[in-house]
Structures are given as structure tokens and as C-alpha cells.
Amino acid sequence: MSLAICRIGRAALLVMALLATASVGLRAAENTQPAAPAVGAESTNGGLELEPPRDGYSYNPQNRRDPFMNYLKAVSATEHGQRPSGIAGFMIQEVALKGIVKDAVQGYISMLLGPDGKSYFCKAGQRLYDGAITAIDASNVIFRQEVTDPLAPVKTREVKKTLNPSEEARQ
């Protein structure tokens, strides 16, 4: 009795091994088929069709992020690792608005306190490391900040610093 069960078990194992080998062979054959171009897809190279890649696979991101891009790169360092000196090297969140001066000729001038403890007088149009001053009025300075987050839908945003922070909290 045990000899018959042993032969049936061996035969079943042999059949399962053959089926597994055949399915792996079919999958390999499917993967070597060249990818068919999508129906109605327009090419981006002026109407010319590109030949499919030799391995039969092409990646279409469809507005998804690049999986091989490093999103953890430092925001505070430039390519050389050094920021410019002075107000041009400060980020918008690093400066504090300490005062606004009205000049008869030049209009409003803001007094910003940098992280180095020095005060800087800035006019509209002054560049900072991650943006620029767009407008200055009697109680506010408005910055246009360049967003460095690659997943953000907008590339710039408006940052408003008020002379009296308590007024900012009420709004």
C-alpha cells in the first residue's frame, strides 16, 4: 500500500514540476513580445514614430513622479555648498521684519533682521536666496517664494510678513 502511495506522490510531483516549468516558459515568451503602440497616442517628436526599445518595455510616467529622482536634496545649499553673502543668501523664513521706512523719493523701504543679527534695508524687487520682495506697504512686506518641493503643484507662493505679528494672528 505504501509503495503505491509513494509512486502516486512521485508522479504528482513530476506533473507539478512540468507544469511549473511550462508556465515559466510562457511568461518568458510573453515578456519578449514587443510592446504595441497605444491606439490614438500622439508622439511628442513632431509626428514621427519612435521605434520601440529593444527590450520591449517603455516607461510612460503619465504625470507621476520620477522614481529615480532624489527628493531629499538639501534646499539650503547651492550646487557649490555656499550661499551668497548678505541678504541674497538668506531664506525668507530666516529673516524677520523689524520696521518699514517711508522715503519721499523711493517709497517704502523694509528693515529686515537677518539670522546673523544684522539689519538690512530692502526695497521691492530685492532678491533673497529663495525668492524676492514683491511689494511693501505701511505695515506689510510681501515676498514671492520659489517652492522647491518637487511634488508641489505650484512653483511659487506668496509669503506675507506683517510689522505687528499680533495683527497677522487676527486675520
Distance CA 59, CA 27 (A): 20
Q: The cell 518641493 sits on which residue?
A: 149
All structural domains of the chain with their residue ranges: 86-170
31-59 pLDDT, tens digit each: 555 555 554 445 455 555 666 667 777 77
82-139 pLDDT, tens digit each: 889 999 999 999 999 999 999 999 899 999 999 999 999 999 999 999 999 999 999 9
Asked if 88 and 127 count as a contact pair (C-beta separation under 8 A), the reply is: yes
- Give domain 86-170's CATH number out of 3.40.50.620, 2.30.30.830, 3.50.50.60, 3.40.50.300: 2.30.30.830
